[in-house]
Structure 1
Amino acid sequence: MTQTIVVDQLIEQARAATGLETFDSDSYREGLDILVDGFNAQGAPEQAVERMKGSVIQALATRLKTTDFLARHPQLLERPIERPVFVFGIPRTGTTLLSNLLAADPARRSPLTWEIDDPVPPATSATLTTDPRALARLEMEKKMLEAMPEMGKYYRGSAIYPNECVFIMANDFKTLMWESRGKLLGYRDWLFETDMTSAYEYHKQFLQLLQSEAPGTWNLKMPSHALWLDTLLKVYPDARLVWTHRDPLTATGSFCSIISLAHNSFAGGAKDKDFIGQNCLYQAQLHADRIMDTRERLGEERIVDVHYAELTTDPIATMRKLYAALGDEFTAEAQAGMQAWLDDNPQTKFGKHEYKLAEFGLTPETVRPVFERYLSRYDVAVEG
């Protein structure tokens, strides 16, 4: 018999694990209830259910810890987040590469994978990459890559590299990370229409915690910021916005491949690849359309464009151009840091990520017309 996840039980397990009782608000609850209802309806196997439970408990526990820390240090909520840079776009368009290059500039600040997962107590500027929690994660990462070296093909991540805002906003249960764990159309459709203010307010508080002993100008990345730019700007009115562009056919194929991995882990296998194809295509189009809609309201110059083809062909020149558009100085230290990262992370370091549209019931002839508005407006390099 398939296990059923009970939300109240997971909340109590998170409280027991942390020894903490109080959440800053109940804004997380609606999304969590909708998510769990949809997940339970899938009838996932026991191993997938246990994995999902663990993820939910971790998110709730992190929320409890950040609530407690900020309640004990309320002055941190008075410290501003000034002129943060947000990178977004259709999924799989080079947002990770751009985020890693920005993080290689020693004058900038990015939320690192390990500190997103374990933010309390926050690290100092001197210990961002040497904190025992970071070192433990690096060792775990090393063992995982030794066991499954193919994982490096899919995502260029590390415990001490920047990671996506999706893992911060997951603690408010308003993020596409949760939707990727199965056929969760109810949660997806709710997420695309709900008020995201609480998720961005929590996101800001999370950064205020992280910057308490390690300040800097924030670089932030999540493709699906594209979906909620008006809300983002309500919480971060002086944010600088960067849109990455790539051939949407290639991006959609890669997006399908990544989501199929999540289904394998959390839904008992990526059995319905046609569903994955149609869902990813719909979401990719929505990302592009919502950015274009927002740009038409705010003005062309409010968003800076970066093309994946240029970023991979001449990354330093492209970053220099981006810095000029952002109004930042491209220092020798920034260039040296980026070049060192590039030297250590060639595109073929872990092999090539192979994927085909046809595997997900898609063809170039069916995908290209979906992006007619986007392709007619932006001159993206054709791949493949």
Structure 2
Amino acid sequence: MNTLPLPVRILNLAGRSAEAVGWQPVSLDFDKLLNKARDNTGLNDFGEDDFRDPLKLLLSGLETEAKLSTLGRVVARSDLLRTLENRLGLVELLRKHPEIEEQTVERPLFVVGPPRSGTTIFHDLLAMDADNRVPLSWEAAYPLPPPETSTYNSDPRISRVQADLDNVDKLLPDFKKMHPMGAQRAQECVAITSHDFASMIYYVQFDVPTYDRWVMDHDMRSALKWHRRFLQVLQWKCPGKRWALKSPQHMWHLAHIHQEYPDALFVQTHRDPVNTVISMSNLAAELQGMNSDHADQRRIAMHYAAGLAKGYNATVDYRSSGALLDSQVVDLYFRDFIQDQVGTVSRAYEHFGLTLTPVAAASMQSFLDDNPADKHGKHLYTFQDTGLDEEALRAMFSKYESYFDIPRETLRAG
């Protein structure tokens, strides 16, 4: 699950108190954030008010649950300000150019499934096909002015975002072992729905369980309206044949995604849910540890276990209802994918009646050759780190494991 850009200036704050850097406590006050975003942009209209309550809930969690360090407060404030400024700019752009919202988003391809189940690399491979329009990290972080085809690979925002991501590597040198990032790599939908502050990206970075549980249960109608607008802005001057999108969050909201995009195609990835909990809690503990001195993988694992069980059951309920046609969804298993990645993509294309050209397939293989899973070192984690009981987890995930016939993996052990 990708992180958002990190301002260069905060690198020097790691491990330093507010007093040491001569700062007053960094404000995360709702009204002050909105007013600062207005001052920075000269704009006033945030659009519909749906974002206000979730933003307030997120801010409450940041203050009362996350135990933020000074660095964590700076990171949180910077991310939220950037997102609010983007929202102001998007509302203004759509006001001036209402024709943007008249564009269609036809047959988008969504990669859904639990975190750490191959969704990221599958999305990266889709980005190698010129027929797929994939949101990249730089344009998801800074969508304005809208990207243009003629400058898409030379836009100055690319180097800006890459510099921010390079600083993440300096602060968390082991993170790229878990989740390599790049300004021109595919970005997922959590970075888009964050513009309505209904995104699971925040819990990955900050210990805000109350807010994250709200996101899991949220109906997403407002956030998906913003999701569509965001895609329309990105494609306005830089169109593609079809959108290829991805987020584990869609597992909780498969019904809502399908309702917003009735003609969408879905690749649902599957992996042993216990190993998913181990891997995801390890990744989140690493990121939360950058923003707090109190990151606790066992607490994080308990949160993800309960949340994933809810998301798994939601997908089973919707898939078993028959509302999603078999022709619109294909199930792919992590074990099969890691054995033949391009071949698995090809099978998905065949299911949907799409053509994987030899050129696209070769580009995908070149990407894999240049980016092996252990390029930056091996991501090490163990089941013992979670403090959870396997039998209890299996009971939580039994509905999902049974319905999709999930093959069990050997658990990571120390």
Q: TM-score, normalised by structure 1?
A: 0.94
Aligned position for 1:242? 267
State which drifts further: 114-123 or 178-187: 178-187
State whether structure 2 residue 390 is matched by structure 1 residue 367. no
1:346 matches 2:369: no
**Structure 1 residues without counterparts, runs of 5 or longer:** none
- How much is the aligned-residue C-alpha RMSD, in angstroms? 2.0
87-96 or 151-160, larger mean C-alpha shift: 151-160
* Offset of residue 158 of structure 1: 1.3
* Alignment equivalent of 1:261, drawn from 261, 286, 303: 286
Alignment partner of 1:17 is 2:40: yes
**TM-aligned CA deviation for residue 124 of structure 1:** 2.0
CA distance in 2, matches of 1:128, 1:95: 24
User: Contact 1:295–1:303 (CA<8 Å) still a contact in 2?
Assistant: no
Equivalent position of 2:339 in the other structure: 313
Once the two structures are superposed, the pairs formed by residues 296-311 of structure 1 within 5 Å of their partners are 296-297=320-321, 298=323, 301=326, 302-311=328-337
1:76 matched to 2:100: yes
Alignment of 1:192-203 (within 5 A): 192-203=216-227
- AA in 2 matched with 1:195: D
Deviations 1:35-87 (A, max 9, x none): 11222113433332222111111110111111112222211110100000111
Deviation at 1:127, TM superposition (A): 2.7
Identity %: 32
Q: Is the alpha carbon distance of 1:324 and 1:351 closer, same or farther for their aligned partners in structure 2, counting shifts above 3 Å?
A: same
Could you tell me which residue of structure 2 aligns to residue 222 of structure 1?
247
Tell me if structure 2 keeps the 8 A contact 1:23–1:67: yes
State the distance in 2 between where 1:30 and 1:345 align: 41
Corresponding residue number in structure 1 for 2:383: 357
Q: What's the counterpart of residue 28 of structure 2?
A: 5
Residues 22-33 of structure 1: pairs in structure 2 closer than 5 A: 22-33=45-56
Q: Deviations over 1:246-295 (max 9, x none)?
A: 1212111011011112321334331x333211101112222211111110
- State how far apart, in whole Å, the 1-side matches of 2:308 and 2:219 are: 20
- What amino acid is aligned across from residue 333 of structure 2 in structure 1? H
Q: How does 1:1-384 map to 2 (within 5 A)?
A: 5-42=28-65, 43-142=67-166, 145=169, 148-216=172-240, 217-270=242-295, 272-297=296-321, 298=323, 301=326, 302-384=328-410
Q: Distance in 2 between matches of 1:144 and 1:333?
A: 34
Shift of 1:4: 5.7
Aligned-pair distance for 1:88? 1.1
CA contact (8 A) 2:216 2:311 kept: no
Tell me if the contact between 1:89 and 1:245 (Cα under 8 Å) persists in the aligned partners. yes
Note the residue ranges of structure 2 that are not aligned, 5 or more in a row: 1-23
Judged with a 3 Å threshold, the aligned counterparts in structure 2 of structure 1 residues 48 and 376 are, in CA distance, closer, same or farther, namely same
Q: 1:232 to 1:300 in 2, by over 3 A?
A: closer
Do the aligned partners of 1:253 and 1:357 also contact (CA within 8 Å) in 2?
A: yes
Q: CA deviation at 1:147?
A: 6.8
User: d(CA) in 1 for partners of 2:147 and 2:27?
Assistant: 38
Q: Which amino acid counterpart does residue 367 of structure 1 have in structure 2?
A: L
> Which range is displaced more, 224-233 or 148-157?
148-157
Q: Is the 8 A contact 1:311 1:318 kept in 2?
A: yes
Please, which moves more after superposition, 348-357 or 148-157? 148-157
Letter in 2 for 1:355: Y
- Contact (CA 8 Å) 1:95, 1:221: kept in 2 or not? yes
- Please give the alpha-carbon distance, in whole angstroms, between the structure 2 residues aligned to 1:18 and 1:268: 33
Q: 1:17 & 1:212 partners in 2: Cα distance?
A: 25
**Does the aligned pair in 1 maintain the 2:117–2:270 contact within 8 Å?**
yes
Per-residue CA deviations over 1:209-235 (Å, capped at 9, x if unaligned) read 000111120001010111112221222
Number of equivalenced pairs? 383
- Helix, strand or coil for the counterpart of 1:28? helix
2:190 and 2:199 in contact (8 A); partners too: yes
Separation in 1, partners of 2:49, 2:283: 31
